């Protein structure tokens, strides 16, 4: 067999290992290791690569952000931030129809802003909100579906561990990806609340009511969530504002949540050691998956499968949005079988080269050049430029034509086609990353095997999983509508980035 054929056969072999319940990290490592051995007719190169790949992967500075965000999530839980978020949201909207469920969504969004993990957000908020939902007469299926959907906000609202891994794989700026996730994250929370409102009107018996909370208690509850706002502002605002790197921001967030947990009485020597141990376990699991993916992706690079697939797709003349739709549907199906991090690590090295060769019309060179010239004129760059030069520039812009580089250079604008294409590829990479993240998380709540559904349902053994399936369909509908909206209007995702 040719190297390309070996690379293609490795994918069904990898899926078989996963179905046989081999850990995903080990399955990817075995597929890559054995594949390299077959291609090279021996194990010397595979063994040598084991040494170099391990060092190269774990010496990455960007990966140091992962344990910091995990530790921040543990400290946030110890500090009672999840309870404070839910109490604040419940005090303001809990008395409305479906209000306690909406409060759970709001609290999940807030906790996701300081956690970065969907599974951790679902598990933590499930322990906090599920008893309250049951207390006020919310049906079991509706309650578990709400918390499962809310858990998906954990990796969409920044900071997000999965976005960090995507940024490393796609070689994109972490801060820009965090900024791009803000508006889609807000849309997700709002969309879920709208679906809750629709659900309780179609199923009036699924939600009870509670008495309104006095205004004084509402403001006191709001005051209790100030630590969350401070941590989120420090981490995301500091990273986006350029005050520190994402890794430094994660360290600042971990320290901030530790201080808050200490003053709230949740952090002592025992809980501190427990947080370190839990973080070490989670980090080891993630890093092993990263190593397995790095080894497998290195094997695929040797076989030239990603490059060949990208070239083939480009030659077929498929519509870019047709290719995007196929990829997103694949992610939706794959999300029923494995966790989001494993999916990203396994598929991005294959799909990203394909997306990179497609033209989604993100950038029009002439439009971008004219916008830069207008900005330069507004900033005073036209002062001292000869009037006849300005007349030529204005005439070309009025006619919608490209301004020659010699003329635009007079205003300090030196945009080239190569630079415009690079910017367009960056736009596409960020936009695609957010779309993938949404679809991957939708897969985690898609029946019959959505992982988060089982995590939440395990907390409420009395509720049949079928009831959760029925209710979660409303939230999946919201996700699909949001994907269509963001796919049709990329500017929504990119609004805070540029």
Q: What is the pLDDT of residues 203-231, one digit of tens each?
A: 888 877 777 777 777 778 777 777 777 88
Q: Residue 305: is its pLDDT beyond 80?
A: no
Q: Residue 78: is its pLDDT beyond 90?
A: no
User: Looking at residues 65-69, what average pLDDT do you find?
Assistant: 83
Rounded CA separation 224/81 (Å): 8
Q: Residue 256: how many CB atoms within 10 A of its CB?
A: 22
User: Regarding predicted confidence, which is higher, 255 or 23?
Assistant: 255
Q: Residue 194: is its pLDDT beyond 90?
A: yes
Whether cis (ω within 30° of 0) applies to the bond prior to 298 is no
- Predicted confidence at residue 425, as pLDDT, reads 85
Angle value at C-alpha 113, between 109 and 114, nearest 5 degrees: 125
Q: Residue 337: is its pLDDT beyond 70?
A: no
Q: Residue 469: is its pLDDT beyond 80?
A: yes
Which of 81-85, 157-161, 333-337 is predicted with the least confidence, judged by mean pLDDT? 333-337
CA–CA distance from 472 to each of 197, 415, 469 (Å)? 14, 48, 5
Q: Residue 187: is its pLDDT beyond 80?
A: yes
Q: What is the pLDDT of residues 429-460, one digit of tens each?
A: 999 999 998 888 888 888 776 778 877 887 77
User: Looking at residues 384-404, what average pLDDT do you find?
Assistant: 83
- The tally of CA atoms less than 13 A away on the side-chain side of residue 482 is 29
Q: Residue 3: is its pLDDT beyond 70?
A: yes
Q: Residue 195: is its pLDDT beyond 90?
A: yes
Instruction: Using the Cα atoms of residue 178, residue 180, residue 181 and residue 187 in order, give the sign of their dihedral.
Output: positive
In the chain, % of residues over pLDDT 90:
8
- Predicted confidence at residue 449, as pLDDT, reads 66
In this prediction the pTM is 0.81
Element at 139 (helix H, strand E)? none
User: Looking at residues 141-170, what average pLDDT do you find?
Assistant: 85
- Predicted confidence at residue 35, as pLDDT, reads 85
User: Regarding predicted confidence, which is higher, 263 or 480?
Assistant: 480
CA–CA distance from 44 to each of 2, 3, 38, 317, 405 (Å)? 20, 17, 11, 41, 53
Would you give the DSSP letter of residue 357?
A: T
Q: What is the pLDDT of residues 122-135, one digit of tens each?
A: 877 888 888 888 88
Instruction: Using the Cα atoms of residue 419, residue 423, residue 424 and residue 428 in order, give the sign of their dihedral.
Output: positive
User: Regarding predicted confidence, which is higher, 420 or 263?
Assistant: 263
User: Regarding predicted confidence, which is higher, 391 or 185?
Assistant: 185
Rounded CA separation 461/468 (Å): 12
Q: Residue 137: is its pLDDT beyond 90?
A: no
CA–CA distance from 252 to each of 60, 67, 74, 247, 351 (Å)? 20, 13, 14, 9, 34
Angle value at C-alpha 193, between 190 and 196, nearest 5 degrees: 155
Would you give the DSSP letter of residue 237?
A: I
Rounded CA separation 56/346 (Å): 18
Kindly report the average pLDDT of the chain as a whole number.
82
Rounded CA separation 370/365 (Å): 9
Which of 142-146, 281-285, 304-308 is predicted with the least confidence, judged by mean pLDDT? 304-308
User: Looking at residues 187-206, what average pLDDT do you find?
Assistant: 90
Output the six-digit token pair for 444. Answer: 């985690």
- Predicted confidence at residue 435, as pLDDT, reads 92
CA–CA distance from 362 to each of 39, 441, 490 (Å)? 39, 25, 8
């Amino acid at each position: 067999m040719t190297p390309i054929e070996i690379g293609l056969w490795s994918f069904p072999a990898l899926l078989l290992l996963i179905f046989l319940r081999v850990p995903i990290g080990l399955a990817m490592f075995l597929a890559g290791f054995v594949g390299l051995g077959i291609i090279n007719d021996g194990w010397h190169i595979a063994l040598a690569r084991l040494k170099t790949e391990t060092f190269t992967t774990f010496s990455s500075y960007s990966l140091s952000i992962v344990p910091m965000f995990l530790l921040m999530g543990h400290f946030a839980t110890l500090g009672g931030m999840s309870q404070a978020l839910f109490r604040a949201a419940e005090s303001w909207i809990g008395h409305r129809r479906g209000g306690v469920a909406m409060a759970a969504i709001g609290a999940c969004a807030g906790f996701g802003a300081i956690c970065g993990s969907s599974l951790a957000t679902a598990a933590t908020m499930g322990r906090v909100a599920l008893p309250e939902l049951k207390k006020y007469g919310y049906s079991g299926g509706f309650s578990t579906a709400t918390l499962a959907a809310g858990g998906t906000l954990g990796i969409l609202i920044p900071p997000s561990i999965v976005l960090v891994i995507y940024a490393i794989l796609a070689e994109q700026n972490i801060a820009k990806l965090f900024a791009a996730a803000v508006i889609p994250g807000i849309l997700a929370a709002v969309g879920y609340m709208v679906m809750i409102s629709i659900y309780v009107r179609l199923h009036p018996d699924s939600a009870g009511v509670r008495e309104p909370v006095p205004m004084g208690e509402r403001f006191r509850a709001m005051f209790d969530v100030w630590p969350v706002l401070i941590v989120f502002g420090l981490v995301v605002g500091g990273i986006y504002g350029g005050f520190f790197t994402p890794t430094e921001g994660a360290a600042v967030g971990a320290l901030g949540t530790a201080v808050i947990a200490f003053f709230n009485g949740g952090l002592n020597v025992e809980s501190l050691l427990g947080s370190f141990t839990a973080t070490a376990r989670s980090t080891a699991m993630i890093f092993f998956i990263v190593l397995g993916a790095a080894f497998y992706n290195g094997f695929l690079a040797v076989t030239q499968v990603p490059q060949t697939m990208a070239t083939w797709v480009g030659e077929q003349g498929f519509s870019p949005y047709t290719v995007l739709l196929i990829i997103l549907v694949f992610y939706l199906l794959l999300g029923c079988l494995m966790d989001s991090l494993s999916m990203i690590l396994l598929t991005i090295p294959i799909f990203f080269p394909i997306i990179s060769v497609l033209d989604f019309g993100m950038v029009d060179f002439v439009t971008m050049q004219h916008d830069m010239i207008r900005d330069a004129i507004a900033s005073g760059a036209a002062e001292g430029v000869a009037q006849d030069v300005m007349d030529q520039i204005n005439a070309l812009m009025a006619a919608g034509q490209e301004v020659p580089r010699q003329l635009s250079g007079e205003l300090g604008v030196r945009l080239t086609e190569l630079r415009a294409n690079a910017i367009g590829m960056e736009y596409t990479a960020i936009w695609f990353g957010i779309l993938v993240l949404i679809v991957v998380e939708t897969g985690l709540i898609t029946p019959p095997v959505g992982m988060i559904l089982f995590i939440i349902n395990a907390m409420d053994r009395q509720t049949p999983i079928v009831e959760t399936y029925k209710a979660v369909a409303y939230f999946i509908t919201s996700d699909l509508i949001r994907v269509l909206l963001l796919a049709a209007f990329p500017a929504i995702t990119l609004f805070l980035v540029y």
